[in-house]
Amino acid sequence: MTAVLRRSALVVVLLASLAIPADAQSDELSFPPIDSTSWEGLVLVSGWIASDATNEDGSFTTTETDIINDTSISFELSVDDKGQVTGGTMHVNLVWFVESVGTAPTTLDPFHVSHYHHETGNLDLSGSANKLVASGSLEHESVTEAEGQKIDEVSGTETDEVEWVFSASEASCVRVAGQLTAATAGSIMNSVFVPLDVASESDHIHNELVATFIAYPATVEDPAAIKQYLDEVQQAADELSRRDLPEAIHLLAVIRPWQDLGAQLARLDQCQQASVGWQPEFTQSWLAKQIQNALHKALKEPDSYTASELIDLWDAGLEESALNSELIIQFLDAFHDKLNEAIADNDTSTIWDIYAFSSQYGYPLLHDQAQKALGVGG
């Protein structure tokens, strides 16, 4: 899995974990107070609605309305420090298609009519995240075809006055999202509120239309220093995982930028941290796992390291709480072997190193053996 994919997946986790609670006083969601007061977003309108109607004379009509994929509704808005929208525009390019087939009453002659609708224009935005209002005029073009022949039954364009109201159901430092809650009567957007399933003896309507919105900060906070540490941590971790004989310096190449990243983030408030999109991947347990993997590799080949190099690895592991019981056993076995070798070789420098280590960390077996070999102390 690539780092980008991992990061993306984890940002999703982050989004879920950093939801801003509703305002305690107003019980409303608002655009969070991030540095950026500019937000961008999309309205996602999709789906279909179908109806079947059967008359007593046996005639029937089946109609299906589909939102066409060409539809795009984007917006940008600015908010003040209280989360109120101070201005904004929604750019509407809404396309839908209505197709009806059936038989005419009495004659039961078959018919097939299709309508192409295209609504375009810009709406003004106002309100807040809890009640985001888009209002204004849209140009509405429609073309009708029947029996395979194009007819100009509705030619040219009309002007529709519309008002769409959206309400946020979640708000975080990096995303505000919600759904359409009201729309001008008779409009395609208003069809969203038709119940999912309506059935009677002669009629049946099934509605799969949805209209939601999502907004995100127009300028995501991404301090260069944090981005740099983020990349450094990832690169160093990748490099560490590829090493067969990792040394302390390679562990520290992950640990130090990770600590620097933590220091930088400590200076940011929660919203800024969320904007950076870093956290879930780079947790203490993530780091400890990287280090443990490296230490397991190293301790499979203890003969490849000097005692002081092993102590360096120990220190690096302990610095980030990566020493578990299995690793401790492996380390102590390795130190004992190193001490035996050093005593046999009369390598006093190494004996001193192990003596100091055992004195610092309180391992009496190593300590006493080294002490005896050096002929010092009690």
Partner 1 sequence: MKLRRAYYLVAALVFVVAACAQGGTSTDRGSNTTSGSGGGSPAPTGVPLVESLPSIEVVGPPETGAGEAPLFRWKPVDGATSYHLAVLGPDGPLWAWQGTETEVYLGALPFERPPGWAGPVISAGTCWSVIARDAEGHVTAVSSFLAISPTGSAASPCVPGEGEEPTP
Interface residues toward partner 1, by CB under 8 A: 248, 252, 259-260, 262-263, 266, 284, 306, 308-309, 311-312, 314-316, 318-319, 321, 323-326, 328-329, 332-333, 336, 349-350, 352-353, 355-356, 358-365, 367-368, 371, 374, 376-377
By beta-carbon proximity to partner 1, the closer residue of 66 and 315 is 315
By beta-carbon proximity to partner 1, the closer residue of 243 and 372 is 372
- Least Cβ distance, residue 354 to partner 1 (angstroms): 9
- Least Cβ distance, residue 373 to partner 1 (angstroms): 13
By beta-carbon proximity to partner 1, the closer residue of 170 and 368 is 368
- Least Cβ distance, residue 376 to partner 1 (angstroms): 5
HSE of 187 in the Cβ direction (CA atoms, 13 Å)? 22
By beta-carbon proximity to partner 1, the closer residue of 102 and 317 is 317
By beta-carbon proximity to partner 1, the closer residue of 192 and 248 is 248
By beta-carbon proximity to partner 1, the closer residue of 281 and 353 is 353
- Least Cβ distance, residue 141 to partner 1 (angstroms): 58
- Least Cβ distance, residue 246 to partner 1 (angstroms): 15
- Least Cβ distance, residue 254 to partner 1 (angstroms): 13
- Least Cβ distance, residue 324 to partner 1 (angstroms): 7
By beta-carbon proximity to partner 1, the closer residue of 168 and 291 is 291
